[in-house]
């Protein structure tokens, strides 16, 4: 289990599948979690299954299982009714296995549920940390998914509207067939138009919900401090936040609050969120000694804020207190050539791209990442191929435009 949870988050399904294969042989494994808004499905196994399974199918399976329970039986997965083993963790994440055998009962269901509980908790923790790599990968995936949904919706709407127009024509004689086909096309059109809202419900978070979750996360951090916290809630009709923005905002506010709490004197905090339609606006202000390390806090937050193309401003005045403001855009930037391909890069390739963006050579990247130079050459070649660029400079430019830039690691004196 240590090996399963310690690697890159996007590949956790592959590692978990390998871990389970000897005791629970399966054709495919799917993890469905609302925590990962960019990629709510983590998959491993047969492409004909994992590439076709839909969020609606997974949600249907999840709703049929009580939280904390397991299920062995038949369910529709990838368009076909199949034998499945499923576990719904108390975190509300879902595990679905397509077994190689025809048995309904899950081998050692208690052990499977316990192992998945560890995996689900690890996913929650990694997402809560909102590392720049996770944010970049999630942002790219969210943008790509939104474009795909828009294109498919337009295509299917045009097709179904054409069918309806034909079927409603008075030139057709078979009234019964026309009525049946018309009803089928109408139902399909309604279902298609609801696909966008369903996907947004999985990938977005109401700004008031995000702020309420932040309050819950801050209570344990301030439990043993005699600090009064004033929360200024965002407007109830404020625009919903993309999931990665919500996670990043909470992670950065937690870091700011911890920096304020490190001061010798802290009596009051004011935490305010607002929306101006295009950005989420965050302000954290204290009545403290004005002793926070401004440069250290900016360094700590810069990776996340740069990845999301946001802005940060930190003021600290001795004896008066400190103020930190964050401005985070809610919309991804207009797509640039090659940038939509970032979602095809795995976490290691994103790391390599970040170093290419600051002009590092293979030897320096190998030293920084602790792997061989030949392995770096392999990753660089893969990055160039996936981004469809001719050289390292073009790849680095795409990385810079997307905010994927490596930050120098301090060296001991």
CB 84 within 8 A of CB 74: yes
pTM over 0.75: no
d(CA 389, CA 384): 5
Q: pLDDT for 215-265, tens place per residue? A: 999 988 888 788 899 999 999 988 888 888 888 899 999 999 988 888 877
pLDDT band at 341 (very low <50, low <70, confident <90, very high): confident
Both tokens of 27, joined, read 């054709």
Residue 325 or 106, more confident: 325
What element of type H or E holds 83?
strand 80-88
How many distinct helices (H) and strands (E) make up the chain? 14, 12
d(CA 366, CA 352): 9
Q: pLDDT for 273-282, tens place per residue? A: 999 889 999 9
What pLDDT does residue 313 have? 93
Average pLDDT rounded to a whole number, residues 3-15: 85
CA-based Rg of the chain, rounded to a whole angstrom?
Answer: 24
**Range of lowest pLDDT (1-15, 313-327, 399-413):** 399-413
Both tokens of 61, joined, read 């399976």
The CA distances from residue 276 to 97, 270, 280, 304, 349, in Å, are 44, 19, 7, 21, 35
Q: pLDDT for 401-411, tens place per residue? A: 776 767 554 44
Average pLDDT rounded to a whole number, residues 339-350: 75
Q: pLDDT for 281-293, tens place per residue? A: 999 999 877 788 8
Q: The tokens 């990043």 sit on which residue?
A: 248
Alpha-carbon torsion 389, 395, 397, 398, what sign? positive
Which DSSP state fits 172? -
CB 156 within 8 A of CB 123: no
CB 145 within 8 A of CB 203: yes
Q: pLDDT for 294-307, tens place per residue? A: 888 888 888 888 88
Alpha helix stretches (DSSP H) within 168-234:
175-203, 207-222
Hey, which of 91-95, 159-163, 189-193, 242-246 has the most confident mean pLDDT?
A: 91-95
Residue 250 or 180, more confident: 250
pLDDT band at 413 (very low <50, low <70, confident <90, very high): very low
Full DSSP string of 391-413: SHHHHHHHHHHTT--PPPPPPP-
pLDDT band at 120 (very low <50, low <70, confident <90, very high): very high
Spatial CB neighbours of 138, under 8 Å, sequence gap ≥ 6: 36, 37, 38, 39, 243, 244
CB burial of 266-300 (b: ≥16 within 10 Å; e: otherwise) equals beebbbbbebeeebbebbbbbbbbbbbeeeebeee
What pLDDT does residue 169 have? 64
Share in percent of the chain as helix, strand, coil (round to 5): 50, 20, 30
Say yes or no to pLDDT of 369 above 60: yes
Residue 131 or 167, more confident: 131
Spatial CB neighbours of 88, under 8 Å, sequence gap ≥ 6: 62, 65, 66, 67, 68, 69, 70, 71, 94, 95
Say yes or no to pLDDT of 20 above 90: yes
SS3 174: coil
Residue 199 or 45, more confident: 45
What element of type H or E holds 273?
strand 266-275
What pLDDT does residue 180 have? 65
d(CA 412, CA 410): 7
Residue 291 or 314, more confident: 314
d(CA 241, CA 203): 9
Say yes or no to pLDDT of 110 above 50: yes
Average pLDDT rounded to a whole number, residues 114-132: 87
**Range of lowest pLDDT (44-48, 175-179, 315-319):** 175-179
What pLDDT does residue 403 have? 67
Spatial CB neighbours of 248, under 8 Å, sequence gap ≥ 6: 130, 135, 304, 308, 328
């Amino acid at each position: 289990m240590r090996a399963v949870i310690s690697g890159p988050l996007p590949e956790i399904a592959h590692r978990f599948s390998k871990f389970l294969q000897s005791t629970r042989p399966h054709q495919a494994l799917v993890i469905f979690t609302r925590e990962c808004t960019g990629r709510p499905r983590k998959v491993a196994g047969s492409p004909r299954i994992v590439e076709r399974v839909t969020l609606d199918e997974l949600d249907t399976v999840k709703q049929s299982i009580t939280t904390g329970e397991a299920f062995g039986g038949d369910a529709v997965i990838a368009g076909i009714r199949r034998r499945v083993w499923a576990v719904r963790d108390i975190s509300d994440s879902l595990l679905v296995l397509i077994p190689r055998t025809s048995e309904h009962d899950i081998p050692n269901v208690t052990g499977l549920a316990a192992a998945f509980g560890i995996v689900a908790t690890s996913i929650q923790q990694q997402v809560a940390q909102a590392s720049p790599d996770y944010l970049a990968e999630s942002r790219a995936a969210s943008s790509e998914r939104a474009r795909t949904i828009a294109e498919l919706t337009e295509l299917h709407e045009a097709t179904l509207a054409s069918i309806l127009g034909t079927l409603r024509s008075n030139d057709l004689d078979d009234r019964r067939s026309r009525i049946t086909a018309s009803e089928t096309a109408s139902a399909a059109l309604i279902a298609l138009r609801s696909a966008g809202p369903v996907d947004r419900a999985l990938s977005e978070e109401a700004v008031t919900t995000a702020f309420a979750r932040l309050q819950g996360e801050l209570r344990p951090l301030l439990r043993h401090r005699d600090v009064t916290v004033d929360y200024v809630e965002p407007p109830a009709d404020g625009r919903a936040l993309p999931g990665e923005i919500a996670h990043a905002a909470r992670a950065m506010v937690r870091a700011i609050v911890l920096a304020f709490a490190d001061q010798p004197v802290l009596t009051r905090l004011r935490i305010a969120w607002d929306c101006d339609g295009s950005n989420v606006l965050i302000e954290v202000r204290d009545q403290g000694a004005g002793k926070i390390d401004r440069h250290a806090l900016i360094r700590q937050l810069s990776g996340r804020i740069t990845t999301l193309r946001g802005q940060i401003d930190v003021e600290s005045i001795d004896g008066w207190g400190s103020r930190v403001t964050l401005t985070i855009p809610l919309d991804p930037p207009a797509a640039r050539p090659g940038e939509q391909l970032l979602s095809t890069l795995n976490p290691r390739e994103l790391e390599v791209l970040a170093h290419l963006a600051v002009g590092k050579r293979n030897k320096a990247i190998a030293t920084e990442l602790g792997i061989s130079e030949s392995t770096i050459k392999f990753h660089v070649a893969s990055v160039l191929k996936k981004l469809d660029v001719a050289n390292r400079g073009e790849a680095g430019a795409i990385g810079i435009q997307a905010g994927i830039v490596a930050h120098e690691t301090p060296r001991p004196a």
